[in-house]
């Protein structure tokens, strides 16, 4: 996979005090191969590797304490650039309704996206309405209606039995309907074909002309690999779009499409779709995507932040403990106390790649928790702190009494500690340059 290849490559740099031009060239060559294998477009690979090479040979690396880590940082930063740099938000019309038109091949995920976007917009305080301008397939309208119902938003569609409507007219009427009824956003679903098709392009272009959308989102299946660039360019010429939505990032995509499309079209990736459910959807953050590809960038940020709060030596010691399973309750406490200096614990834990599934728990993580944790751990004996396995029922009862907490509190703490130890172990392994892939291959 892309990540494994990059990891392997960058691993070879580890421990080098200084990088020779040969080191850099070797690394860049490997990165180039890894990207090509992952279906990244050649032009993108070229500009990417050229940028990495130039920077890796430059002063920032020469002067760095840890050149290898610096190169990793550069690769990460360049990935972010390729993915569009800054996150781009939706543009809303000064005078509502804001019109968002979806375009893309059949099966790309447009109709599903219409529902996801509507649900998300609703959560953001908007009042979206869906417009069924895909009249190509018999059940397209029904599918949008189902999606609309799931999202809890109205769907504007031609009357059934009213002949096969004109998608351009439906789009126009849909926008008018939204304006009349004071809906503030209109999402226009359109038809797609299995391949790029002149009629389809013309239809989409006509819809665009008719409703003058504020955003045209080109929806593309991240799994289509090398075809991504050609398809995106065809749509750019035929319809043009203001942003890209990558779908099916939950699948076995090789990641190349994501890296190529933004760069080759000059249009930002704005949203990512990661499953069939309406909530499997998020605004696209180039930096997060890059770190998911590397499964590392966030760790670097984390390390940077941590360095601000406590010294590197301590951080390394703890990382070592995570990795070797000798992380104790004492360490847990010490770490929590240090984390407190870092401001938002939640923000920090949210950055750990392994922590995604723990968000809910993290949301409940607060200052009081630390105070309670301190009280409980300080009521433990040295031996107990060193080995949580000793904590049987009677010991937990004694600790609860000693700290003024309940046994449930103690149990919760021990559970949390054990989970953290497990999670951190995974993270620490990742940090030692064994990246996992988000866009798996």
**Binding window for ligand GDP (CB under 6 A); candidates: 106-114, 180-188, 289-297, 362-370:** 106-114
Q: How many residues bind ligand GDP (CB under 6 A)?
A: 18
Phi, psi of 336 (to 5 degrees): -60, -40
112 binds ligand GDP (CB under 6 A): yes
* Residue 245 main-chain phi, psi, to 5 deg: -120, 125
Which residue do the tokens 């309670």 mark? Answer: 372
132 strand-pairing partners: 189
> Per CB under 6 A, does 149 bind ligand GDP?
no
Backbone phi, then psi, for 433, in 5-degree steps? 65, 30
Select the residue interacting with ligand GDP from 263, 273, 291, 335 (CB under 6 A): 273
Please, what is the minimum distance in Å from the beta carbon of residue 191 to ligand GDP?
Answer: 8
Tell me whether residue 190 is annotated as binding.
Answer: yes
Stretch that binds ligand GDP, among 42-50, 275-283, 317-325, 413-421 (CB under 6 A): 275-283
- Of residues 247 and 335, the one with the C-beta less far from ligand GDP: 247
Is residue 251 close enough to count as binding ligand GDP by CB under 6 A?
Answer: yes
Which residues fall within 8 angstroms of residue 320, CB to CB, at 6 or more apart? Answer: 428
Binding part of the chain for ligand GDP, among 104-112, 156-164, 208-216, 424-432 by CB under 6 A, reads 104-112
| Residue closer to ligand GDP (CB basis): 109 or 430 | 109
Question: Is 407 exposed, middle or buried, given 0-12, 13-18 or 19+ CB atoms closer than 10 A?
Answer: middle
46 is in an annotated binding site: no
CA dist., res. 261 & res. 63, Å (int): 35
Stretch that binds Mg ion, among 28-36, 109-117, 292-300, 375-383 (CB under 5 A): 109-117
Residue 276 interacts with which of ligand GDP, Mg ion, none, CB < 5 to 8 Å by class:
ligand GDP
Stretch that binds Mg ion, among 42-50, 105-113, 204-212, 423-431 (CB under 5 A): 105-113
Pairing of strands 281-283, 269-273: antiparallel
Query: Can you give the C-alpha Rg of the chain in angstroms?
Result: 26
Residue 231, marked binder: no
Residues ≥6 apart with Cβ < 8 Å to 220: 104, 105, 108, 228, 231, 232, 244, 245, 246, 247, 257, 261
Both structure tokens of 88? 């781009």
259 neighbors 79 (Cβ within 8 angstroms) = yes
Q: How is residue 132 written in tokens?
A: 């069924």
275 binds, among ligand GDP, Mg ion, none (CB under 5 to 8 A by kind): ligand GDP
Looking at the DSSP assignment, which residues form a beta bridge with residue 282? 272
Site for ligand GDP in 166-195 (CB under 6 A): 192
Taking the complex as a whole, the smallest distance from the CB of residue 257 to Mg ion amounts, in Å, to: 20
Q: Which of 107, 225, 283, 402 binds ligand GDP (CB under 6 A)?
A: 107
Contacts of 327 (CB under 8 A, 6+ apart): 318, 321, 421, 424, 425
Task: Provide the minimum distance between the beta carbon of 170 and ligand GDP in the complex, in angstroms, as a whole number.
Answer: 16
How far is the first Cα of the chain from the last one, in angstroms, to the nearest whole number? 5
Of positions 3, 27, 98, 111, contacts Mg ion by CB under 5 A: 111
Burial of residue 367 (CB within 10 Å: 0-12, 13-18, 19+) is exposed
Is 408 annotated to bind ligand?
Answer: no
Q: Which of 12, 66, 69, 106 binds ligand GDP (CB under 6 A)?
A: 106
Q: Which stretch binds ligand GDP (CB under 6 A): 31-39, 180-188, 196-204, 273-281?
A: 273-281
Q: Which residues does 198 contact at the CB level (< 8 Å), separation at least 6? A: none
What is the SS3 assignment for 58?
A: coil
Closest distance to ligand GDP from the beta carbon of 280 (Å): 6
Q: Which of 67, 104, 148, 353 binds ligand GDP (CB under 6 A)?
A: 104
Query: Per CB under 6 A, does 96 bind ligand GDP?
Result: no
Two tokens, residue 280:
């499997």
150 binds ligand GDP (CB under 6 A): no
Binding track, positions 320-359, relative to ligand GDP; x by CB under 6 A = ----------------------------------------
Q: Which residues are annotated as a binding site for GTP?
A: 104-111, 189-193, 247-250
**Contact residues: Mg ion, CB under 5 A:** 110-111
**Contact residues: ligand GDP, CB under 6 A:** 104, 106-112, 192, 247-248, 250-251, 273-276, 280
């Amino acid at each position: 996979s892309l990540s494994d290849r990059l990891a392997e490559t960058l691993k070879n740099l580890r421990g080098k005090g200084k990088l020779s031009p040969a080191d850099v060239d070797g690394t860049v060559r490997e990165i180039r191969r890894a990207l090509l294998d992952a279906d990244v477009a050649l032009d993108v690979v070229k500009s990417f590797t050229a940028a990495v090479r130039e920077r890796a040979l430059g002063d920032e690396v020469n002067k760095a304490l840890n050149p290898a880590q610096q190169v990793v940082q550069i690769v990460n930063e360049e990935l972010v650039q390729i993915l569009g740099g800054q996150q781009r938000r939706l543009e809303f019309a000064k005078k509502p309704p804001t019109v968002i038109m979806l375009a893309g091949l059949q099966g790309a995920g447009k109709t599903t996206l219409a529902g996801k976007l509507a649900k998300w917009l609703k959560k953001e305080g908007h009042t979206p309405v869906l417009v069924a301008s895909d009249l190509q397939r018999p059940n397209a309208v029904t599918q949008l209606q189902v999606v609309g119902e799931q999202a809890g938003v109205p769907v504007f569609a031609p009357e059934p039995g009213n002949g096969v409507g004109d998608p351009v007219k439906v789009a126009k009427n849909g926008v008018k309907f939204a304006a009349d009824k004071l809906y503030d956003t209109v999402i226009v679903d359109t038809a797609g074909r299995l391949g790029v098709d002149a009629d389809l392009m013309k239809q989409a272009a006509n819809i665009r002309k008719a409703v003058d959308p504020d955003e045209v989102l080109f929806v593309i299946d991240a799994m289509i690999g090398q075809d991504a660039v050609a398809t995106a360019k065809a749509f750019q010429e035929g319809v043009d779009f203001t942003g890209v939505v990558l779908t099916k990032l939950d699948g076995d995509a090789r990641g190349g499409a994501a890296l190529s499309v933004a760069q080759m079209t000059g249009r930002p990736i704005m949203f990512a779709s990661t499953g069939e459910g309406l909530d499997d959807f998020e605004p696209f953050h180039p930096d997060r995507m890059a770190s998911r590809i590397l499964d590392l960038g966030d760790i670097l940020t984390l390390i940077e932040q941590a360095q601000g709060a406590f010294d590197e030596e301590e951080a390394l010691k703890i990382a070592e403990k995570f990795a070797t399973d000798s992380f104790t309750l004492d360490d847990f406490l010490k770490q929590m106390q240090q984390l407190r200096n870092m401001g938002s614990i939640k923000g920090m834990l949210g950055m750990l790649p392994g922590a995604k599934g723990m968000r809910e728990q993290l949301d409940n993580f607060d200052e009081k928790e630390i105070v309670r944790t301190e009280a409980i751990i300080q009521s433990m004996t040295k031996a107990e702190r060193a080995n949580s396995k000793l904590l049987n029922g009677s010991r937990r009862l004694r600790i609860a009494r000693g700290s003024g907490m309940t046994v449930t509190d103690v149990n919760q703490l021990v559970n949390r500690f054990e989970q953290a130890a497990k999670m951190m172990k995974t993270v620490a392994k990742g940090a030692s340059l064994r990246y996992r892939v988000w866009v798996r291959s």
